[in-house]
Amino acid sequence: MAKKRQRHSAEFKAKVALAALRGDKTVNELAGQFGVHPTMIHAWKKQLLDGASELFARGTPKPEQLKGPGTGELFEQIGRLKMELEWIKKKAERLA
Q: What is the pTM of this model?
A: 0.57
Model confidence at 73: pLDDT above 70: yes
pLDDT tens across 2-45, in order?
A: 778 889 999 999 999 999 999 999 999 999 999 999 999 999 99
Range of the domain at 46: 10-53+70-95
Q: Would you state the torsion angle of the CA atoms of residues 64, 66, 71, 72, taken in this order, to the nearest 10 degrees?
A: 0
The answer as to whether 44 is a domain residue is: yes
The answer as to whether 89 is a domain residue is: yes
The answer as to whether 34 is a domain residue is: yes
The answer as to whether 81 is a domain residue is: yes
CA distance 25 to 52: 22
The answer as to whether 23 is a domain residue is: yes
The answer as to whether 62 is a domain residue is: no
The answer as to whether 4 is a domain residue is: no
Q: Provide the domain count of the chain.
A: 1
